[in-house]
Structure formats: C-alpha cells, structure tokens
Structure 1
Amino acid sequence: MEWTVKELAERAGISGRALRYYHRIGLLQPDRVGSNGYRYYRSESVARLQHILLLRDTGMALAEIATILDAQDTPNAEIEALQVHLRRLEADRQTLERRITAVQHTLKMRREGRAPQIDVMLQGFNDDYEAEVVERWGRDAFEASNQWWHGKSVREQQTWKADTEALLARWRELQEAGHEPDSTAAQEQATAHMNWFAQIPGTPTHSGDKEKSAAMVLGVADQYESNPDFHLTFGSEAAVRFAANALRNHIRHLSEHRG
C-alpha cells in the first residue's frame, strides 16, 4: 500500500510542507516519485517517519535525528544521542530555573516598591552556553569559567561585558574599513582576541596548552560563522566571517612559527 504526501501528512498530523522539507534534506525519502511528480510512501517509510516524529518531540535537531537513523547501529546511536540531548535539557532546565528565580525576585521587589538586587537579577542570564561548553570542553572547563564569572562583582561583570563588546565591535570596524583577514591590523586584533580567551579560566588558552588552544579557537571560529546569534553579536555576518578567517590565519601562523 502507498500513501501520497497529502494522505501521509493527514495521518501523521503534520503538514505536507514538512514532508517535502524532510525529503529535500534527505531525512525521509519517498519510495518513488510518480510521472505526475507526486511522492509515494510505503510502510517502511511510514515507520521511519514515526521514528522521526518521536525523536523530534524530544526537541532533538533534525540533523541529529538523521545521524541516528542512518547509523549502522541505530539503537546504540539513539541511546547515545538521547543521553547527550538529556544532559543538554537538564542544563537548560537549571539555567531556566535560575532565570525564573531572578524574575520572581525582580517582580517581588517591584511590587514592594524596592530596588531589586542586581546580582540576583542577573542570575541565569550568563549561562546560555553551558551545555555547549560542557559538550565541547568538559564539565571542569565550564565550572572553572562559571565560578570565575560569578565570582566577579556586578561592576566587574559590567566592565568585562563592555570590554568584550568593544573587542567584537573592533572586528566590524576593521572589516568595514576594508582590511583583509591576514592584514597586520587583523592579526593584531586576533592576538587581542586570543588574550581575551586567555583571561577565562577553564579554556586551554588560559592554561597555556597550545595544541588544545589552537583546536579551541578553530572550533570557536566555526561556531561564530555557523551560529546566527554571533552574527548579531559581531554586528554583521560579514564581520563574523572576517573575524573567523582572521583567527584561522592567526592559528596557522602560530603553527608555522612553532614548526
């Protein structure tokens, strides 16, 4: 038995657009495409769709779902991916709970006509990348940087944020001024960016591990380019690409110098 996109979408409770998108990204292929251009799905594809929807309901990204379903050992791949995803969700929950506490405190103080304590107001709003840091660099790295950050006074945190904003704004200034990523100005800025990393406990740059530091910076450069949030942080997508390429060049120069 076969089902068209319309029939399968109605049975699955999703849109036909979603099915066509799954086909386009290679997540769910139709069993055949008719001469009329219609996609047709058989029972095996329906079973795969059911699996996709179950994993999607956990909040897992479609790319991760595809990796699981295409793995040779799907059950173990699914277990491992779900464990990683669960740790992310638990970290997100902890951050959300801190934010709820902060908002509750602010609301209570406002209702009582008192000024909120700014350190309480900021709780949970500086841990956005906890899950990502833990996954990439380990729990110890996150704990070290987190303790360092929360050990600062509010004034020190504000100063750090202002310095960081100035660091990122400088990248955009250089890019808009027409500098190349390998120019002297860009490489001086890359050095400043490396020094900024070195101030943060838990990073390989802070500990002086040159090999791990290089891997970290290259990974961060990729993250800058791929995460739209950083496009806003740097001021433009062009500025992000410029900074990422300058950092890559900087690591390459350091490697050549050591060689």
Structure 2
Amino acid sequence: MAWSIAQVARMSKVTSRTLRHYDEIGLLPPAWVGGNGYRYYEQEQLLRLQQILVMRELGLGLDAIKEIVRHGRDQAEVLRMHRGWLLAERDRFARLARTVTRTIEELEGGENVTSMDHWFEGFDSAKQAELTEEARQRWGAEQVDAANAHVRGKSKEWWQSQGRQWAEQVGTLVALIDAGHQPGDAEVLDALDGHYRWLCGYWTPNRESYTGLGDLYADDPRFRANFDRTDPRLAEFMRAAMAAYAQARL
C-alpha cells in the first residue's frame, strides 16, 4: 500500500514542503515518484518519518538525524533507542509533576514549610546556567548580564508581544524563501532590519557578533531544532542572510 505526499502530510501533520525538503537532502526519499511527478510513500518510509519526528521532538538537528537514520541499524534496535529517549523524558516530566503536586499539598494543607529545596526538584537549572555562561563567554559578560537585567521582571504580556514580533519576522523570511529570494537580496536585508532592531531591545550586536549569532542559529542543535520545526531551510538561510546583512549594513 502506498500513500501520496498529501496523505502523508495530513497523517503526520508535517507539511508537504517539509517532506519535499527531506527528499532533497536525502533524509526521506519517497518509495517512488509517479508519472505525474507526485511522491508516494510506503510503510518503510512512514516508519522512517516517525523516527525523524521523534528525534526532532527530542531536539536533534537534521544533520544529526541523518547520521542516525543512515547508520544502517536494525529498525527494532532504532525503535528501542527512541523508546529509551522517550521514557527518559517521561521520567523527567514525572519528577516535575511530583514536585508541583507536593507544593500544592503543602500550600493547601497549611504545612509549616521549613525547607524550600524540594520545590525545585526536577528543574534543569544547570542547563540554563550553562547556556548563560556560554553566552557570556561568546559575547562578553557585560553585554549578557545587561540583557538579562533588561528583561528581568517583565510581564507575561511583554513576553507575548516579543514572541509575536519574532513569529512575524520568521514568517516574513519564510515567505521570501518561498518567493525564491537569495540571502543577500535587498528585500531579505530589509526584513532583517526588523530582526536587528528587535535584538537591539536586548543588546546591540556589531558586525562580528551578528554574524556569529547566525552561525549559532544554524550550528547549535538546541537552536537549529527550533528553526527546523518551522522550516528546514530557515536556519541556513538565516545564517547566510545575517552574514550578508552584517557586511552590508553594520
């Protein structure tokens, strides 16, 4: 039995554009292509797509995923590995749920709490501290600390407005990619004016640091995974576009 690309997109909630990109980079070729040019997928391809989506949810970038799915491992072995990752994530969320449940019980029960340490069990504060320290080393402690101070205590509404601005910028860039624009085109650089001004609300990148941020978006799997979820072309396009913007306008 075979499914068309439209049927696979509908089943998996993955856009046809993303499926075509996976084919272009050799990550998920279809089982065959019809005379009408449409891609068709069989059970083997659907199983690979499931593996790809699991690894995307776990934060892996496309390059890392390609290495894993091309490794030639037995399919059952790969699924066991994925199941292990998912169970580890389940356990992490279970720890967080227990922490919150215990806090609720203490607050509702009127207990005299003498220690607060257990209120923070399960939170990966070490990872956040690691990211902050990486940023301080990359761009300087003074700039990073100033940026953190700028956003400390901001309201939920403020964060939501920042998220909307970022989403609009990303949407504009994806539309420009769809229209066939190249990273150095004037329309793309004009769009990045908004991105640069948005960043200046936190810190003011120079030519070197703005280029370096584009590299970080594309190279760091923690950032790359988020861009890939939006559009698998986006991270590399932003890397090239941000480098072009830095050369032309900074």
With structure 1 as the length reference, what TM-score do the two structures score?
Answer: 0.46
> Considering only CA atoms, is the larger Rg found in Structure 1 or Structure 2?
1
Question: Whose relative contact order is higher, 1 or 2, with alpha carbons under 8 Å and at least 6 apart?
Answer: 2
